[in-house]
Amino acid sequence: MKILVLCSGGDAPGMNKFVWSLYKKFKKETFYAYSGFSGLVKGQIFPLRNIVERKSKNCAGIVIKSSRCPEFKEEKFFKLGLANAKKFDVVVILGGNGSEKGAKALFENGVNTIFVPATIDNDVEESSYSIGFDTAVKEGIYAIKNTMPSIYSMNNSCLFEVMGRKHDAICQEVAKAVQADYVICNKESLDYEKIKDVILKKLVRSDSACVVVRENIVEVEKIAEKLNLMLGADIVKTQVVGRTQRGGEPTARELKLAKCFAKETVRLIKTKVFGVRILMNDKDETIVKEFI
């Protein structure tokens, strides 16, 4: 059996655990495409044993590298990738909803693919969980908890920008955990008058507002600039949590769920079930569904 694995899109903490777990089961039968679909297109395919190592299995990042590969949508590049994918009995693809489309396209063209949700954004349809989400939330909480004491001491308020692309899962989860005073998770919730009121109410009590903002709505610096103008004082600070959400040390839950996804992948490979997505239900159980 020849098994190929690749990671696509933004890296996600827990990916290393998954790849290591797969390697441990199939050893010399496993190969990887360097840096996702890009390596598949270029034929940069190598044995996993050359790169995986026990010491990085619980670390964030991904040793086989990941990338975004928009050209994979173009026929010329897709065909190159397809020819390389066809050399394998199964191709395991880790990523978010964009990568899922790539996995589906390969399957529809005769490749035995298995798709595994792995993106901090948790934006894979029908799955309650994707590898990386728990750690990204933990890092968001950590950044806020380590910033607010300073904000409070200076009588300021703060806007925290968290990742998530166009999806608000990280933003909502972080806001809930830190009991944020206001959440900007979409354009509609960017109500300057309301936010100003929240900040003022806190200020009169010598307190500070904590506002969690999803990225890609309006830059937090611009939101703060406008609020400071409305308030007539420079009291609204900003903090972009950024890539610490991807680079953060995986949580125990993350490692456990990555291992669950790997265990299910092993089962599917052994029973020769292909052309599927491994998803997770609300009870943290893996479920298997066809591509939609």
Strands 286-290 and 276-280: antiparallel
Q: What is the Rg, in whole angstroms, of the alpha carbon atoms belonging to the chain?
A: 21
**Residue number, 23 or 261, with CB nearest to ligand F6P:** 261
What string marks each residue from 178 to 217 as x (binds ligand F6P by CB under 6 A) or -?
-------------------------------------x--
**Residue number, 120 or 227, with CB nearest to ligand F6P:** 120
Q: How far is the CB of 119 from ligand F6P (least distance, A)?
A: 5
**Residue number, 234 or 249, with CB nearest to ligand F6P:** 249
Using CB under 6 A as the binding rule, whether residue 163 contacts ligand F6P is answered as yes
Q: Which of 8, 30, 84, 119 binds ligand F6P (CB under 6 A)?
A: 119
Using CB under 6 A as the binding rule, whether residue 254 contacts ligand F6P is answered as no
Instruction: List helix spans (H) across the chain.
Output: 15-26, 37-42, 75-85, 97-108, 133-145, 148-153, 169-178, 192-204, 220-231, 244-247, 252-270
- Cα–Cα distance measured from residue 117 to residue 280, given in angstroms and rounded to the nearest whole number: 9
Using DSSP's 3-state secondary structure scheme, residue 235 falls into coil
> By Cβ distance, which residue is nearest to ligand F6P?
10
- Report residue 28 as tokens: 């010399």
Note if 121 is an active site residue.
yes
> Of the listed 11, 89, 121, 234, which one is catalytic?
121
Using CB under 6 A as the binding rule, whether residue 164 contacts ligand F6P is answered as yes
Using CB under 6 A as the binding rule, whether residue 10 contacts ligand F6P is answered as yes
Q: Sign of torsion, CA 277 107 67 29?
A: positive
**Residue number, 136 or 235, with CB nearest to ligand F6P:** 136
- Cα–Cα distance measured from residue 19 to residue 205, given in angstroms and rounded to the nearest whole number: 51
Q: How far is the CB of 247 from ligand F6P (least distance, A)?
A: 10
Instruction: List helix spans (H) across 5-112.
Output: 15-26, 37-42, 75-85, 97-108
The H or E element spanning position 287 is: strand 286-290
Q: How far is the CB of 40 from ligand F6P (least distance, A)?
A: 18
Residues that bind ligand F6P (CB under 6 A): 9-10, 68, 96, 119-121, 163-165, 215, 246
Active centre residues (catalytic): 121
